[in-house]
Amino acid sequence: MKNPVAYFKKVAREKREYREAMERVKALPEDYRFVYDKIQHYMWNHVAGDGMDMTVVLADLVDLFEQGAAAGRDVLDVTGEDVAAFCDDLLTGAKTYQGTKQDALNRAIMGKLGSNRP
């Protein structure tokens, strides 16, 4: 860690933003809150590392849900009926256990065989 003070400030800021987003979730319609809770649980089970990537994703999800609710849209019109696929799309930029395992597998194989390739 190059600058621990900057890192801890970043973590504190992201946690504060996450708590603020969770307060906004409470104001969503019941269906939106239910789906948000299920999505959040699903996504936290896939996050790797310190989880800070996830706080940004979940805060963005609150924005999306607020816009959908304000427009009078059904929550499944926002997410689509395949909510798991919707979640997987949201996780694209976040560090996940699956991505970590995939990277480790590729590094191990390339470390052993990569230099032997034609």
Among 36-40, 51-55, 71-75, 88-92, name the one with the lowest average pLDDT.
51-55
Domain boundaries, the chain: 4-115
Q: What average pLDDT score do residues 15-39 get?
A: 93
| Percent of the chain at pLDDT exceeding 90 | 38
4-115: CATH, from 3.40.50.800, 1.10.1900.10, 3.40.50.12160, 3.40.50.920? 1.10.1900.10
Cβ–Cβ < 8 Å for 78, 68: yes
